[in-house]
Amino acid sequence: MNAAHSVVAPAVAKVRHLDHINMTVRDLEASLQFYRDLFGFEKVESGELPSGPWAIVRSGDAMLCLYEHANVPEGPRYPAAPAEQGVRHFGLRIHNGPAFHALLEQKGVPLMYGGPVEWPHSIAYYVADPTGHQIEVVCWHNDTIAFEA
């Protein structure tokens, strides 16, 4: 009997972490610089496909897979993308919102929606990368994920 057949399947596959996000970008080098300069992502792997260069970047346990395609339309595409589009943004969690806000000002990266957005349990800073992908940078109050019961 094959060992794989003797394993009992769990009720669900419990997710430990979101592993990575795979994104098409207009300019790989500009995207690498953006994610490195704002979030500390470092390139861990790269290569070339017939469609163009690609790279995997990592910051802590978070990874982004970036694939350059020359025919990505000029952006930003967000927040003007159609409401029925599947992914509107992705979120990155940070610990110090005011310091991040100061970094954005120092780097000349504009905040979307007129500034930080207050949510019931967090404050969010919305920015767009060089391709126009919207990123919600979240700082939870008391650095704790909490929802009311």
What are the pLDDT digits (tens) for 11-50? 888 888 888 999 999 999 999 999 999 999 999 999 999 9
Q: Confirm whether pTM is higher than 0.95.
A: no
List domains and CATH numbers for the chain.
18-74+87-143 (3.10.180.10)
Question: What percent of the chain shows pLDDT beyond 70?
Answer: 87
| Count of helices and strands (H, E) across the chain | 2, 8
pLDDT per residue over 123-137, tens digit each? 999 999 998 888 999
Nearest-angstrom CA–CA distance, 64 and 94? 16
Q: What is the CA radius of gyration of the chain?
A: 18
Quick one: tokens of 130?
A: 């060089």
CA distance 113 to 116: 8
Q: pLDDT tens-digit profile of 59-84?
A: 999 999 999 987 877 665 544 555 55
Are β-strands 52-59 and 117-118 bridged in parallel, bridged antiparallel, or unpaired?
unpaired
